[in-house]
């Protein structure tokens, strides 16, 4: 464990030295500041790449996308989280292209040195990063990106069509599988201490490549059913050629060292000691809490704390007192609260979440502390472990066995993969339980959470995607499941579909290509006052014509 933590500490130091966000589209392959990655040792770039993308996944998964997918709600400074109050200044892809610059240099060094392992890793991380970009924004610079050093014609790269980006990703993952298919002793220059994901285990990297391919083939299932079916069937029917992640011990995860704010879990209270800090702003969302309570899901106790002081309705008038650790209130107090804040009370004695997009989030459930972002004894806060800087479950979760099995369950449902969808469904839940440390409860749980088709598969993917909520957002867009409804304070009457192209970083500096990409977006009835198709409520190619999610 000491060695592992030291390796991560080294990695985060390297991240700080190398990772500079892209400032302009004509600088997609030029970093004028810091240490030049072109002279960096090949293996020293690997932790920079892995932790860079891992932190982005966490920031999405515990940030605003956790609000969209109703895992959590904030009770202070909550507009972007609870209400999708986004615009053309909200979300930039510059950080992702900063990661891609390092991946590109890593890839070049791998080719020059004829290091097949490193080349395979580079293609996987390139596919992963471009996958997130196109999933979040739609069309984006791809074929012409990272080529500024080749000439001025690449200073303002075109926005490739989303379909082409997905197909490019899948081609790279196929190549990675081939590159990583040799015997382990045939590879050279592997430094296991710099590989924070799999410690130089070639087979596990190969499994990640094929697992990601399953993810992106399924992403295409509504638009390119033939391609999706063929690709998934190819992988699922030939595990010898296309091994995938099947056990939680193979999950693509990275821990935090916790030695400084930059290498610690983002909601920790060790470095953020403000009583209105990140941890205290975040509460559980009622949608997730109630779904998990209905299933008697033991993961709820891992994700969240029980409420400190339950509410109890009692007979009488003007009663508001605490007796034996319970706050007792009379009907007139309840009526006054409901009239004042326009929302009811939750009397659950254990777990209480804030309903999505309500105006009274800071005041919810008779919170006695009416300032924003403070402790609410009548609502469920995140589990205490999220106050820590690091821990066994505080992980950057890039890909999991649970997701793979649940993809295969959906594929088997369609007849695209061998096996019984119910068996894959159960295996997905089991591996999620293994990942969250509640494996002993699986046998009791599965009887009360039986397989019931696509709705049950996607619900379990949604629950399992805790702290990695972006993947559940992409599933929701594709399937319309789970059936999530927004609330009264939301910017629109429906959940958003994408990020806006950022004006300063993406539109103003590559205007013609950005405007062409915007013209290919399809506005929906929820576009509202957005002046162009560049709306969070416009459909990118992968959703157009599908009727999903609305």
H-only helix segments in 250-327: 278-281, 286-294, 299-303
Cα 112 from Cα 90, distance rounded (Å)? 39
Tell me: the pLDDT tens digits for 97-117? 999 999 999 999 999 999 999
Q: Which residues pair with 395 in a beta bridge?
A: 255
Whether the pLDDT of residue 496 is over 60: the answer is: yes
Residue 37, pLDDT score: 65
Please state which of the four CATH numbers 3.30.1360.120, 3.30.43.10, 3.40.50.1820, 1.25.40.390 is assigned to the domain occupying 1-246+459-550: 1.25.40.390
Tell me: the pLDDT tens digits for 165-208? 999 999 999 999 999 999 999 999 999 999 999 999 999 999 99
What is the domain partition of the chain in residue ranges? 1-246+459-550, 278-387
Tell me: the pLDDT tens digits for 308-317? 999 999 999 9
**Strands (E) located in 278-408:** 282-284, 311-313, 320-323, 326-329, 395-399
Cα 122 from Cα 107, distance rounded (Å)? 5
Tell me: the pLDDT tens digits for 204-254? 999 999 999 999 999 999 999 999 999 999 999 999 999 999 999 999 999
- Kindly indicate the confidence band of residue 394, based on its pLDDT and cuts at 50, 70 and 90: very high
Residue 28, pLDDT score: 38
* CB-CB contact of 41 with 91 (8 Å): no
Q: Which of 139, 239, 213 is nearest to 498 (CA)?
A: 139
Residue 36, pLDDT score: 65
Name the strand (E) or helix (H) holding 445.
helix 442-446
The mean pLDDT value of the chain amounts to 93
Cα separation values, 418 from 58, 235, 252, Å: 33, 10, 24
Whether the pLDDT of residue 18 is over 70: the answer is: no
Q: What share of the chain is helix, strand, coil (3-state, %, to 5)?
A: 50, 5, 45
| Rg from Cα positions in the chain | 24
Residue 148, pLDDT score: 85
- Kindly indicate the confidence band of residue 325, based on its pLDDT and cuts at 50, 70 and 90: very high
- What pTM does this model have? 0.93
Cα separation values, 377 from 307, 311, 349, Å: 6, 10, 12
Cα 429 from Cα 324, distance rounded (Å)? 38
Cα separation values, 237 from 128, 208, 210, 216, 280, Å: 23, 17, 12, 17, 47
Cis before 165 (ω within 30)? no
Whether the pLDDT of residue 7 is over 90: the answer is: no
Residue 295, pLDDT score: 98
Residues 6+ apart with CB under 8 A from 325: 309, 310
Burial class (CB in 10 A: 0-12, 13-18, 19+), 89: exposed
Whether the pLDDT of residue 1 is over 90: the answer is: no
Q: What is the DSSP string of 411-422?
A: HHHHTSSSS-HH
Q: Residue 285 gets which letter from DSSP?
A: B
409: its two tokens:
């369950």
Q: Residue 492 gets which letter from DSSP?
A: S
């Amino acid at each position: 464990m000491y060695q592992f933590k030291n390796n991560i500490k080294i990695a985060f130091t390297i991240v700080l030295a190398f990772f500079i966000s892209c400032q302009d589209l004509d600088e997609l392959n030029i970093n004028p500041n810091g240490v030049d990655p072109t002279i960096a040792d090949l293996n020293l770039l690997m932790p920079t790449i892995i932790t860079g993308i891992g932190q982005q996944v966490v920031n999405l998964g515990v940030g605003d996308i956790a609000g969209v997918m109703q895992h959590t709600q904030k009770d202070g400074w909550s507009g972007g989280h609870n209400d999708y109050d986004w615009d053309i200044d909200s979300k930039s892809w510059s950080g992702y292209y900063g990661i891609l610059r390092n991946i590109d240099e890593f890839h070049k060094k791998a080719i020059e040195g004829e290091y097949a392992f490193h080349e395979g890793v580079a293609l996987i991380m390139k596919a992963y990063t471009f996958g997130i970009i196109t999933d979040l924004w739609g069309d984006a610079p791809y074929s012409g990106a990272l080529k500024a050093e080749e000439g001025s014609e690449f200073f303002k790269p075109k926005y490739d069509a989303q379909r082409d980006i997905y197909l490019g990703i899948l081609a790279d993952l196929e190549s990675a599988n081939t590159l990583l298919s040799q015997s382990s002793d045939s590879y050279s220059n592997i430094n296991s201490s710099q590989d924070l994901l799999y410690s130089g285990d070639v087979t596990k990297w190969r499994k990640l490549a094929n697992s990601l391919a399953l993810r992106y083939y399924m992403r295409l299932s509504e638009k390119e059913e033939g391609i999706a079916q063929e690709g998934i069937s190819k992988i699922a029917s030939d595990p010898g050629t296309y091994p995938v992640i099947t056990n939680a011990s193979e999950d693509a995860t990275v821990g935090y060292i916790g030695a400084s704010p930059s290498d610690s879990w983002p909601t920790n209270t060790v470095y953020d000691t403000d009583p209105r800090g990140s941890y205290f702003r975040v509460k559980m969302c009622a949608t997730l809490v109630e779904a998990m309570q209905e299933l008697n899901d033991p993961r709820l106790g891992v994700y969240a704390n029980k409420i400190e002081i339950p509410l109890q309705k009692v007979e009488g008038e003007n009663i508001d007192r605490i007796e034996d650790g319970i706050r007792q209130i009379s009907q007139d107090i309840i009526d006054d609260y409901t009239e004042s804040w326009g929302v009811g009370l939750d009397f659950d004695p254990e777990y209480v979440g804030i309903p999505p997009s309500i105006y009274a989030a800071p005041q919810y459930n008779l919170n006695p502390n009416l300032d924003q972002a403070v402790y609410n004894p009548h609502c469920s806060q995140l589990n205490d472990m999220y106050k820590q800087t690091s821990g066994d479950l505080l992980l950057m979760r890039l890909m999991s066995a649970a997701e793979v099995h649940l993809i295969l369950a959906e594929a088997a449902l369609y007849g695209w993969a061998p096996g019984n969808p119910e068996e894959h469904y159960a295996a997905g839940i089991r591996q999620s339980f293994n990942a969250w440390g509640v494996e002993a409860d699986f046998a009791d749980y599965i009887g009360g959470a039986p397989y019931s088709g696509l709705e049950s598969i996607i619900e379990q993917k949604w629950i399992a995607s805790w702290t990695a909520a972006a993947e559940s957002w992409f599933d929701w867009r594709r399937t319309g499941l789970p059936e999530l409804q927004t609330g009264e304070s939301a910017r629109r009457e429906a959940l958003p579909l994408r990020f806006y192209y950022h004006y300063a970083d993406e539109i103003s500096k590559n205007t013609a290509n950005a405007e062409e990409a915007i013209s290919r977006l399809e506005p929906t009835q929820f576009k509202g006052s957005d002046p162009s198709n560049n709306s969070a409520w416009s459909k990118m190619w992968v959703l157009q014509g599908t009727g999903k999610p609305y």
